[in-house]
């Protein structure tokens, strides 16, 4: 389905926030954004209200809208929850995986190999998201899947760790291939282990980057 103008503006501005193109704390001036996107101010205002309701934008009296800052304590809490739950979700997905599922997942990992060589971190981040969504969706533990998705969306900026630290792509790919091997071998323990290793490393990298950024601003 084609996007409406408002939906298109929403997708563009949210992606800019997630990627860091619009930095935490950056002011969001309606007229400036409208000119940049080549649209009227109406869909921009609608989008900012929507992003504010979702927690991506904050509005301050006499100042206006700005990108919501990254709160380190909140991210640490979200990552702790994800580190506890995502390896379990990955393990429970192993029982339900089919040859077709493995082929689809393997194709995504191969695509990420190509993107890594091209150093296309933004696209890599998107395919990585698809990989994990497909894998987690195989789990029969649907309530756990719902919880993980909710927490994942709240920490969505961490998807762009590959943009912030491109070297993460190399380690991530090694881990993805070990996950594919665990799926082929129907090895639940190995899948859980490699998912935990990946999450622990990625979260540590991201938090270190955020801390460095906050210290630089101070």
Q: What is the chain's pLDDT, residue by residue, as a tens digit (218 residues)?
A: 457 889 999 999 998 888 778 888 899 999 999 999 999 999 999 999 999 998 899 998 888 999 998 888 888 999 999 999 999 999 999 999 999 999 999 999 999 999 999 998 888 988 999 999 999 999 999 999 999 999 998 888 777 766 667 788 999 999 999 999 999 999 999 999 999 999 999 898 888 877 776 666 65
The predicted structure's pLDDT at residue 18: 83
Residue 92 CB coordination number (10 Å): 19
Dist CA 147 CA 142 (whole Å): 9
Are residues 148 and 106 in contact, defined by beta-carbon separation less than 8 angstroms?
no
Instruction: Determine which helix (DSSP H) or strand (DSSP E) holds 182, and give its type and residue range.
Output: helix 168-184
Dist CA 185 CA 13 (whole Å): 42
* Domains (range + CATH), the chain: 5-67 (1.10.10.10), 72-217 (1.20.120.530)
């Amino acid at each position: 389905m084609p996007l409406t103008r408002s939906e298109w503006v929403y997708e563009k501005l949210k992606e800019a926030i997630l990627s860091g193109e619009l930095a935490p704390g950056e002011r969001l001036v309606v007229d400036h954004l409208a000119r940049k996107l080549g649209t009227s101010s109406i869909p921009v205002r609608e989008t900012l209200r929507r992003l504010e309701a979702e927690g991506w934008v904050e509005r301050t009296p006499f100042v206006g809208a700005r990108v919501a800052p990254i709160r380190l304590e909140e991210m640490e809490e979200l990552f702790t929850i994800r580190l506890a739950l995502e390896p379990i979700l990955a393990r429970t997905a192993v029982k339900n995986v089919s040859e077709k599922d493995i082929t689809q997942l393997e194709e995504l990992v191969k695509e990420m190999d190509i993107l890594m060589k091209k150093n296309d971190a933004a696209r890599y981040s998107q395919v990585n998201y698809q990989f994990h969504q497909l894998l987690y969706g195989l789990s029969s533990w649907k309530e756990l899947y719902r919880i993980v998705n909710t927490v994942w969306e709240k920490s969505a900026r961490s998807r762009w760790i590959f943009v912030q630290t491109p070297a993460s792509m190399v380690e991530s790919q090694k881990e993805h291939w070990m996950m594919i091997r665990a799926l082929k071998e129907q090895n639940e323990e190995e899948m859980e282990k490699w998912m935990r290793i990946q999450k622990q490393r990625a979260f540590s990298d991201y938090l270190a980057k955020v801390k460095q950024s906050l210290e630089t601003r101070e």
